[in-house]
Structure 1
Amino acid sequence: MGYFSRAKTTVFSGLAIVSLGLSAMASANDALLDFQDVFNIEYVGSIAAHPNKDYVIYERRSLDIMADSTRSNLWQIEADGSNHRPVLSGKTNYRMPVFSPDGARLAYVSSAEGDNQLYMRWLDTGQTARVSNLSHSPQSVSFSPDGKWLAFVMFTPAKPSNLNINMPKKPKGAKWAGNATYIDSLAYRSDGAGFLPSGFNHIYVVPSEGGSARQITQGDFHHDGQLSWTADSQHIVFSSDRHEDWQRRPLESDIYRVNVKTGEITTLLQRQGPEFAPVISPKGDRIAFLQIDDRKLASQNAQLYVMNSDGSNVKGLVTKLDRPLGNVQWDRAGDGLYFSYDDHGKKKLGYVNLGGKISRLDAELGGQSLGRPYTSGNYVVGNNDKLFYTLAKTQRPADLASLSKGGATKQLTQLNLDALGSKELAKVRSLTVKSSVDERPVEAWLALPPDFDPDKKYPLILEIHGGPHAAYGPQFSLEVQLMAAKGYVVVWANPRGSTSYGEEFANLIHHNYPSEDYNDLMDVVDGVIEEGYVDESQLYVTGGSGGGTLTAWIIGKTDRFKAAVVAKPVINWLSFSLTADGYAYFTQYWMPGMPWEQVDHLWKHSPLSLVGNVSTPTMLLTGEEDYRTPMSETEQYYQALQLRNIDSAMVRIPKASHGIAARPSNLIQKIGYILAWFDKYKPETE
């Protein structure tokens, strides 16, 4: 039976508990990928380039089987791939490497002494020193140009609001329930963080040789994101929404400058819509930033602008590319800017000079989304404008590669040669179909089982991305590879609503989701079937988040799928809008009005409205700590299916928020339950 024998079940309080163990998950064929291999995977995280030498230090991330988490160590490698060696390695996490301006020191964050703190390493001697004593984890670490200071963002607690209710004195030895929690803020909980403590993110500085951290921003506002120093090391430029009604403006932000000594804040740019991610040029005379023309659309692409360092003379550089932009970095001379952008399911690199001329570079980034094949990737500008980036491949997670000025690319690492080199992995190829709705091209990708024979018939899994404004692509995916290793053909697609094809395509589902994206997905399934190697009686469907919503929508529209797994879905837009963590955003950008004003519209697009049509055996699967698509959405659908006597099950993943794959064991459990559910409905073989 491959990964599983038939699952043993125990009936307890009306719920079926499926017993899973790693020993049961092992493949009978050692050449095929199995669940144990998940813990052997490594990939490249963030990258820091030396300011005047041709090497980088990068986060080498691995999956820790004992801690059930991702471990990050720091490694060094030359631009030609030589001298690949550890800088800081072991069980402790070492993250966020940042070179000093002269390249003599390396700042980083580590939990070596318990809590996350800032450390400094002198690269000529290897000496290290702890340079902070912080109460919370630092983020967005940045060196001042003179090398004397480190700036960072840190959560700063504030006194929680409360009401005086004059509780009677608790008698000695009495065991009361505890203190109630009083909440009066709009943003009070967040997926992955839970219920939020009272406080704000503020900017701090600490001497780079160690000392006391000093808070330089004040007020009941969050000051976070990218920090950029002025050339004289006297000011820091950042983005924030310092409007008194910031909680009700989920996208707004402006660009400010704070005096490091006095804390005085100056507004540099204040426009309608968010301006964010400011970065000062090497000469200190200009600031590049991203801006969104906020039209309250569900999907809106950022555009790249530049202005003088005092906020004057704003000029658009990349305003017509019509693709999601990010990670803007100046070239070393300050004559232009590099940026990443998503195009047709791939993350690519571009360059624009100060005259607005755009060049597209020969590099495809990816490999940092291990679970599912989302677009991802990172890069950094090195010495002599050599670029270092995470390399995208269909059969490997992120390796490190370089791109020289002349356009020559070179792969520098092979981090998974040991773990995956002997494995027979699924081959991935592309497929494009025409939508039956309007003949738009819909792009998809196929993973074929490692021993694929075109003369045989295979079961097919349709895997649907979330977002819904996101993009899949030809990326490495543990979920896809493990499904293919089990003998399934797997197809994933970018139906209407997906990003990387322009705003018009993405917003075809604006206030209209789900809708014809269903037709696009069915067209993709039909396109695979037409190739002749899929058993039409063995079609399966799954997806997470927005993909879970579409999965539930699909089985309410058709009975062609043998079984379905609906992961972390939105089932009822009315309940979701008032229980999800981002309700201030969702009600403004995803809905045509407040939910109590749009009952008919929201119910029309809710999969729960179609539950009376469902006959497909369906499993629901959600993290128990999910606040993005709360467990109550899953429970509604499960209970509706049970009331209709549909073969159904509910899986609650422990210690998991919306990002189930954050813990390797939960990633394995997710894939394991999906495959076990589909195996349950496969025909018996002789």
Structure 2
Amino acid sequence: REVWRVNADGKALQRLTFFNKPVEESVDIRPAEEIWVASPTGKRIQTYIVKPHGFDPAKKYPLILNVHGGPQQQWTDGFRGDWQVYPGAGYIVAFPNPHGSTGFGQEFTAAISKDWGGKVYQDIMAVTDSLEKIPWVDKDRIGAMGWSYGGTMMMWLEGHTDRFKAIASMMGVYDLPAMHGATEELWFPQWDLGGAPWESDLYEKISPNKFVKNFKTPCLVITGELDYRVPYTQSLEFFTDLQKMGVPSRLIVFKNDGHWPSAVKSMPFYYNAHLDWFHRYLGGPPAPSDMVKMWKNQAYEHSNSPLRSSTDGGTR
């Protein structure tokens, strides 16, 4: 953490402390660059881009879009360790703030209400269209990932486009009617979905599980067994349907984690799983650790393993 000074108008930003300067000088921390993309919705979508370590504009790199959760949340221009993981492995990562994001006025945020798949989907595809035109983006190696609501959007992408070479969905909502009776957060059904399943026809229209027949994209599915916000059975259903459709897919369940794999022992496996998946389908470098060996070590050599299961279906 550092202390900065800024005027009330948001200008004249000045850094006052330099506690982390030794770290900054010893590692290649990639900055986030801001761009704005025109969407068919008529709005401009703020997007942050983080380029790979050792970036060379003469080369082409695989791209990963990362959709945030919430959905009433936003990506901000602040340091995040996970923003460095994927660029460190040779990927460009884009962080869009689509409709429903906070920070752009209440109208923009409220636009997500009763429209989980519409405007956000248009925004994501508009950002994809824009980025793939950049010379150093390899348009044939584009993937997407998301957590919570972002995970739900990954499930939505699975049923609505084959544009992406690989997807990673974490803790997403797949079956909206089932979700209503299981989540501990009932604000979302009331505000975002227009009420209970018997009060709103949106559950049938925008539930990702209604579009199973379109599933094609290889998908990594990650969930936590102690998730009370989005019960892990949502991801189990999603994975089951991916398997029924013959889609290359992998399921990872963290037994001691909830809506985020926050346990210290979970994080190495979590990020390694992403890098392994995108290595397979986007052609990035191999993950730091072999997934099979990592899984066997966690499952059989440690009684306090963070994993409940790691099911690799249809990926080999």
TM range (shorter): 0.7 to 0.9
Counterparts in 2 of 1:486 and 1:683: CA distance versus 1, 3 Å: closer
C-alpha separation in 2, matches of 1:546 and 1:682 = 23
Contact 1:427/1:449 (8 A) holds in 2: no
Gaps of 5+ in 2: 286-316
Q: Give the residue type in structure 2 aligned to 1:595.
A: P
The 5 Å alignment of 1:252-263 reads: none
Deviation (angstroms), 1:609: 1.1
Partner of 1:639: 240
Partner of 1:588: 190
Residue of structure 1 aligned with 2:29, choices 397, 406, 425: 425
SS class of match (1:429): strand
Counterparts in 2 of 1:634 and 1:457: CA distance versus 1, 3 Å: same
Partner of 2:89: 486
The 5 Å alignment of 1:153-172 reads: none
Residue of structure 2 aligned with 1:523, choices 126, 137, 143: 126
1:536 partnered with 2:136? no
C-alpha separation in 1, matches of 2:31 and 2:10 = 26
Deviations 1:254-279 (A, max 9, x none): xxxxxxxxxxxxxxxxxxxxxxxxxx
Partner of 2:260: 659
Counterparts in 2 of 1:512 and 1:682: CA distance versus 1, 3 Å: closer
Q: Give the residue type in structure 1 aligned to 2:31.
A: K
C-alpha separation in 2, matches of 1:669 and 1:349 = 39
Contact 1:427/1:450 (8 A) holds in 2: no
Partner of 2:301: none
Partner of 1:474: 77
C-alpha separation in 2, matches of 1:411 and 1:463 = 31
The 5 Å alignment of 1:228-627 reads: 360=9, 409-414=14-19, 416-438=20-42, 440-583=43-186, 585-598=187-200, 600-627=201-228
Deviations 1:548-571 (A, max 9, x none): 011111121111111111000011
The 5 Å alignment of 1:52-67 reads: none
Contact 2:209/2:238 (8 A) holds in 1: yes
The structure, 1 or 2, with the larger RCO (C-alpha pairs under 8 Å, 6+ apart) is 2
SS class of match (1:466): coil
Contact 1:572/1:603 (8 A) holds in 2: no
Q: Give the residue type in structure 2 aligned to 1:536.
A: K
Q: Give the residue type in structure 2 aligned to 1:664.
A: V
Partner of 1:267: none
SS class of match (1:550): helix
Contact 1:466/1:548 (8 A) holds in 2: yes
Contact 1:570/1:629 (8 A) holds in 2: yes
Aligned residues: 285
Deviation (angstroms), 1:442: 0.6
Q: Give the residue type in structure 1 aligned to 2:199.
A: E
Q: Give the residue type in structure 2 aligned to 1:568.
A: M
C-alpha separation in 2, matches of 1:666 and 1:421 = 29
C-alpha separation in 2, matches of 1:552 and 1:363 = 42
TM-score, normalised relative to structure 2? 0.84
Counterparts in 2 of 1:631 and 1:418: CA distance versus 1, 3 Å: same
Q: Which runs of 4+ in 1 moved over 3 A?
A: 359-364, 416-420, 682-685
Counterparts in 2 of 1:684 and 1:484: CA distance versus 1, 3 Å: closer
Deviation (angstroms), 1:605: 0.9
C-alpha separation in 2, matches of 1:474 and 1:684 = 25
Deviation (angstroms), 1:476: 1.5
SS class of match (1:421): helix
Q: Give the residue type in structure 2 aligned to 1:526.
A: D
Deviations 1:340-395 (A, max 9, x none): xxxxxxxx989xxxxxxxx546588xxxxxxxxxxxxxxxxxxxxxxxxxxxxxxx
Partner of 2:278: 678
C-alpha separation in 2, matches of 1:679 and 1:540 = 11
SS class of match (1:430): strand
Q: Give the residue type in structure 2 aligned to 1:635.
A: L
Deviation (angstroms), 1:593: 2.3
Partner of 1:305: none
Contact 2:227/2:257 (8 A) holds in 1: yes
Counterparts in 2 of 1:680 and 1:603: CA distance versus 1, 3 Å: same
Counterparts in 2 of 1:349 and 1:428: CA distance versus 1, 3 Å: closer
| Structure that is richer in helix per residue | 2
Counterparts in 2 of 1:586 and 1:646: CA distance versus 1, 3 Å: same
Deviation (angstroms), 1:421: 2.8
C-alpha separation in 2, matches of 1:573 and 1:682 = 31
Deviation (angstroms), 1:419: 4.1
| Structure that is richer in strand per residue | 1
The structure with more radius of gyration: 1
SS class of match (2:265): helix
SS class of match (1:681): helix
Deviations 1:495-525 (A, max 9, x none): 1111100111111121111212111011111
Quick check: 522-531 or 632-641, which moved more? 522-531
Counterparts in 2 of 1:349 and 1:618: CA distance versus 1, 3 Å: same
Counterparts in 2 of 1:433 and 1:684: CA distance versus 1, 3 Å: closer
Q: Give the residue type in structure 1 aligned to 2:17.
A: L
Deviation (angstroms), 1:427: 3.0
Gaps of 5+ in 1: 1-42, 45-80, 82-347, 351-358, 365-408
Counterparts in 2 of 1:363 and 1:604: CA distance versus 1, 3 Å: farther
Q: Give the residue type in structure 1 aligned to 2:183.
A: A
Counterparts in 2 of 1:503 and 1:427: CA distance versus 1, 3 Å: same
SS class of match (1:664): coil
Contact 2:62/2:284 (8 A) holds in 1: no
Contact 2:71/2:112 (8 A) holds in 1: no
C-alpha separation in 1, matches of 2:10 and 2:232 = 43
Q: Give the residue type in structure 2 aligned to 1:624.
A: E
Deviation (angstroms), 1:572: 1.3
Contact 1:574/1:595 (8 A) holds in 2: yes
SS class of match (2:220): strand
C-alpha separation in 2, matches of 1:591 and 1:619 = 26
